[in-house]
């Protein structure tokens, strides 16, 4: 896992790679593929190291299925004859798409939601299923291989995503054009992990492609090979994108060979199409990302740099003195209510698990400042209402109401959803022995001080709530 430290900073496997022994306790399918070897001679514990038999495609399949089930509540079937995706690597590309949408403010809950197009879903249909489960996105995907298409369709239905993900057969020789036309829809982005090679011989000969032992499985030719290789495939996508223009806001593709990046950039440069590139690092494998647009200035995009350590989060610890799932749920629900109902923020769930839940939170209005004044006013209002109940006259209530500056955000907030948000941050709630820690991590916005005020607001509200 030499390159793991360069994984996308939000990749959940970056700092916590799968522990095979633990995982196999939960998913006994994996047990048969565990390999135990002695620990390092220098290690004091002499503990053996438990790994997985990565050369066995069935082991890889069990791992992928277990991670999807444990971390994303996704249940998929995969034939051993098709490409078996690794979850951490697929997340890296998806997280980059999130960054691009975010940088252009097209990741907020749009009226119809975010709609993506995935070219070549594979049998797993992994990008669409992850994007749907993680971010609530809708997808149209295409697939050229009949067996992979059938599996992808079954996997979508099996996970109850048929209303949000449509898996279509590839449209003849067209990669994008005919599919987009046939749906009559507009897409926020398209993504693609094309077959890399021009021929099987090239795959086997290419010095620049040395598949790590553990990545090899008897991949069908359609997964790995396409006439002209990935450069021809993506140049055709670029050509079709010129005709589609802003029907897709951000076009993108993953590239399996570094040597493909330069010729594709040259094609975009020649046509003055703005683009941006990135590197995906996972395990011992590197991949490249290329994204371009006909309506957005991709050159000015500052995406979250995968090589830069994220800012330290602001943390608030809640000490219960006892731990139960019910306590954690109560706190999570209260935090959701405070953010969504009281502060009118928008939450997108990014991870839900027993020990840790994470959301991306966007605020369009500052409803957290001056909370002390607002609470004082609410208290006055309450006292006045009690006076009324005791028959003490209406005038007190009226004046108290007119003094109160707290307001309920109206439905026009929805209409302004595309406007610039004030702040966007990650909220993580973690449970650890006797404590629950709530972490707020800055993503973007107008003023970093807001994050501090939001923590103070949540802290005050939760203290009141927990005392009850
Ligand atoms: C490298 S695999 C990627 C599968 C999956 N997206 C993943 O990342 O695991 C490429 C997929 O594209 C499909 N494919 C090849 N040419 C295609 C085309 N013209 N339109 C749609 N799918 C195509 C292949 O059958 C294969 O399933």
Residue 58 resides in a domain: no
Q: In this structure, which residue's CA is closest to atom 13 in ligand 1?
A: 120
Q: Are residues 154 and 284 in the same domain?
A: yes
Nearest ligand 1 atom to the CA of 254 is 8
Integer-rounded Cα radius of gyration of the chain: 25
Task: State the CATH number of the domain containing residue 173.
Answer: 3.40.50.150
Nearest ligand 1 atom to the CA of 121 is 6
Q: Are residues 138 and 199 in the same domain?
A: yes
Q: How many domains does the chain divide into?
A: 3
Nearest ligand 1 atom to the CA of 224 is 1
Q: In this structure, which residue's CA is closest to atom 22 in ligand 1?
A: 120
CB atoms inside a 10 Å sphere around CB 448: 12
Q: Are strands 285-292 and 423-432 parallel, antiparallel or unpaired?
A: unpaired
State which H helix or E strand residue 115 sits in: strand 115-119
Residue 106 resides in a domain: yes
Q: How far is the CA of 223 from the centre of ligand 1 (A)?
A: 6
Q: Are residues 219 and 292 in the same domain?
A: yes
Q: Are residues 194 and 266 in the same domain?
A: yes
**Which phi and psi angles does 253 have, rounded to 5°?**
-150, 150
Q: How far is the CA of 457 from the centre of ligand 1 (A)?
A: 48
Q: Are 125 and 155 in contact (CB under 8 A)?
A: yes
Q: Are residues 259 and 234 in the same domain?
A: yes
Q: Are residues 144 and 236 in the same domain?
A: yes
281/389 Cα distance (integer angstroms): 66
Q: Are residues 270 and 344 in the same domain?
A: no
Q: Please state the ipTM of this predicted complex.
A: 0.99
Please give the pLDDT value at position 414: 38
Please give the pLDDT value at position 320: 54
Q: In this structure, which residue's CA is closest to atom 5 in ligand 1?
A: 122
Nearest ligand 1 atom to the CA of 93 is 8
Q: Is the pTM of this model over 0.90?
A: no
Which among 117, 107, 71, 76 has a CA at the least distance from the CA of 91?
71
Task: State the CATH number of the domain containing residue 450.
Answer: 3.30.310.80
Alpha-carbon separation of residue 108 from 117, 191, 348, 363 (angstroms)? 18, 19, 9, 10
Q: How far is the CA of 206 from the centre of ligand 1 (A)?
A: 20
Q: Are residues 381 and 364 in the same domain?
A: no
Q: Are residues 179 and 83 in the same domain?
A: yes
For 332, residues 6+ apart whose C-beta sits below 8 A from its C-beta are 357, 429
CB atoms inside a 10 Å sphere around CB 153: 21
126/86 Cα distance (integer angstroms): 9
Q: Are residues 381 and 349 in the same domain?
A: no
- Give the binding-site residues of ligand 1, using a 6 Å CB cut-off: 83, 85, 90, 119-122, 124, 126-127, 142-145, 148, 170, 175, 193, 195, 222-223, 226
Please give the pLDDT value at position 360: 84
Mean pLDDT by 10 residues, the chain (468 residues): 69 86 92 80 60 88 95 95 92 93 79 92 97 93 96 98 97 94 96 84 56 47 76 96 97 94 96 93 85 87 51 69 66 88 87 76 84 64 50 28 30 44 84 74 78 85 78
Residue 425 resides in a domain: yes
Range of the domain at 425: 315-369+417-466
Please give the pLDDT value at position 391: 32
Q: Are 165 and 138 in contact (CB under 8 A)?
A: yes
DSSP 105: T
Check the annotation: does 61 bind a ligand: no
Check the annotation: does 90 bind a ligand: yes
Please give the pLDDT value at position 438: 83
Q: Are residues 287 and 319 in the same domain?
A: no
Q: How far is the CA of 291 from the centre of ligand 1 (A)?
A: 18
Alpha-carbon separation of residue 358 from 133, 279, 447 (angstroms)? 13, 25, 22
Residue 15 resides in a domain: no
Q: End-to-end distance of the chain based on CA atoms, in angstroms?
A: 48
Check the annotation: does 228 bind a ligand: no
Residue 35 resides in a domain: no
Nearest ligand 1 atom to the CA of 118 is 6
Residue 53 resides in a domain: no
Q: Are 131 and 94 in contact (CB under 8 A)?
A: yes
Q: How far is the CA of 15 from the centre of ligand 1 (A)?
A: 30
**DSSP letter for each residue of 205-258:** H-TT----GGG-----HHHHB-TTHHHHHHHHHHHHHHHHGGGEEEEEEEES-G
Residue 331 resides in a domain: yes
Q: In this structure, which residue's CA is closest to atom 2 in ligand 1?
A: 223
Q: In this structure, which residue's CA is closest to atom 17 in ligand 1?
A: 144
Q: Are residues 344 and 257 in the same domain?
A: no
Residue 52 resides in a domain: no
């Amino acid at each position: 896992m030499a390159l793991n430290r360069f994984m996308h900073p939000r990749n959940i496997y970056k700092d916590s790679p799968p522990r095979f022994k633990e995982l196999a306790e939960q998913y006994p399918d994996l047990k048969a593929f565990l390999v135990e070897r002695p620990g390092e001679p220098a290690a004091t514990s002499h503990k053996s190291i438990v790994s997985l038999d990565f050369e066995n495609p069935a082991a890889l399949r069990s791992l992928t299925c277990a991670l999807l089930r444990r971390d994303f509540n996704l249940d998929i079937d995969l034939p051993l004859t098709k490409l078996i995706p690794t979850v951490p690597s697929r997340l890296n590309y998806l997280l980059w798409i999130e960054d691009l949408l975010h940088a252009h403010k097209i990741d907020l809950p749009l009226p119809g939601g975010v709609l993506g197009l995935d070219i070549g879903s594979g049998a797993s249909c992994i990008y669409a299923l992850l994007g749907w489960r993680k971010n609530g996105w809708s997808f149209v995907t295409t697939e050229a291989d009949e067996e992979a298409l059938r599996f992808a369709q079954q996997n979508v239905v099996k996970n109850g995503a048929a209303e949000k993900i449509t898996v279509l057969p590839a449209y003849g020789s067209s990669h994008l054009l005919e599919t987009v036309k046939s749906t009559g829809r507009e897409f926020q982005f398209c993504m693609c992990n094309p077959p890399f090679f021009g021929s099987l011989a090239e795959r086997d000969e290419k010095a620049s492609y040395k598949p790590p032992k553990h990545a090899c499985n008897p991949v069908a030719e359609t997964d790995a090979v396409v006439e002209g290789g990935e450069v021809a495939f993506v140049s055709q996508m670029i050509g079709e994108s010129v005709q589609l223009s802003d029907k897709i806001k951000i076009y993108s593709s993953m590239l399996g060979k570094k040597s493909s990046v330069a010729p594709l950039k040259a094609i975009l440069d020649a046509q003055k199409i703005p683009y941006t590139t990135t590197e995906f690092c996972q395990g011992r494998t590197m991949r490249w990302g290329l994204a371009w647009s006909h309506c957005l200035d991709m050159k000015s995009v500052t995406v979250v740099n995968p090589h830069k350590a994220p800012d330290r989060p602001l943390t608030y610890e809640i000490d219960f003195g006892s731990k139960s799932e019910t306590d954690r749920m109560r706190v999570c629900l209260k935090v959701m209510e405070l953010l969504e109902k009281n502060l009118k923020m928008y939450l997108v769930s990014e991870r839900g698990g027993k020990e840790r839940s994470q959301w991306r939170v966007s605020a369009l209005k500052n409803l957290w400042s001056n909370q002390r004044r607002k609470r004082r006013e609410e208290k006055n209002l309450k006292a006045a209402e009690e006076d009324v109940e005791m028959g003490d006259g209406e005038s007190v209530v009226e004046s108290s109401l007119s003094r109160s500056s707290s307001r309920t955000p109206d439905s026009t907030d929805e209409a302004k959803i595309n406007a610039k948000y004030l702040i966007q941050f990650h909220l993580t709630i973690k449970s650890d022995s006797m404590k629950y820690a709530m972490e707020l991590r800055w993503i973007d916005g107008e003023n970093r001080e807001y994050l501090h005020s939001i923590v103070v607001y949540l802290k005050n509200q939760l203290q009141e709530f927990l005392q009850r």
